[in-house]
């Protein structure tokens, strides 16, 4: 009986650190930053994620500018196609002939 009475408090005290170690091991295994003893991210990992976030924002901003320009060009092309589709055939033929004469 005395062995069991001694093991219960030892086990209860050891559960916390063991689960913390297991949690951090799983977090780092799956690419998340480890936590300190207060369940906060470590400063080094936090600074690293800030740099990554800034880089992602910069890349997304550049991609957004590129796509905005592309959408503008496509809208212009669609406007030309709509004008060709809605204009009378005679007027379109005259414009094509005028372009050939240049």
Per DSSP, what are the bridge partners of residue 35?
A: 41
pLDDT of residue 83 exceeding 60: yes
pLDDT at 45 over 80: no
Q: What is the pTM of this model?
A: 0.41
* 24 in Cβ contact with 34 (< 8 Å): yes
User: For the chain, what percent of residues have pLDDT higher than 90?
Assistant: 35
Burial pattern 31-44, b for ≥16 Cβ within 10 A else e, equals eebbeeeeeebeee
Q: Are 33 and 46 in contact (CB under 8 A)?
A: yes
Q: Over 60: is that where the pLDDT of 89 sits?
A: yes
pLDDT digits (tens, 9 = 90+) for 2-28: 788 889 889 999 998 899 899 889 988
């Amino acid at each position: 009986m005395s062995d069991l009475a001694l093991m219960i408090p030892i086990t209860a005290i050891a559960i916390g650190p063991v689960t913390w170690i297991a949690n951090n091991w799983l977090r780092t295994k799956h690419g998340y930053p480890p936590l300190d003893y207060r369940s906060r991210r470590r400063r080094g990992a936090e600074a690293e994620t800030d740099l990554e976030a800034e880089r992602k924002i910069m890349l997304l901003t550049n991609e957004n500018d590129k796509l905005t320009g592309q959408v503008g060009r496509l809208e212009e092309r669609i406007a030309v196609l709509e004008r060709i589709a809605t204009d009378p055939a005679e007027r379109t033929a005259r414009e094509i002939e005028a372009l050939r004469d240049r």
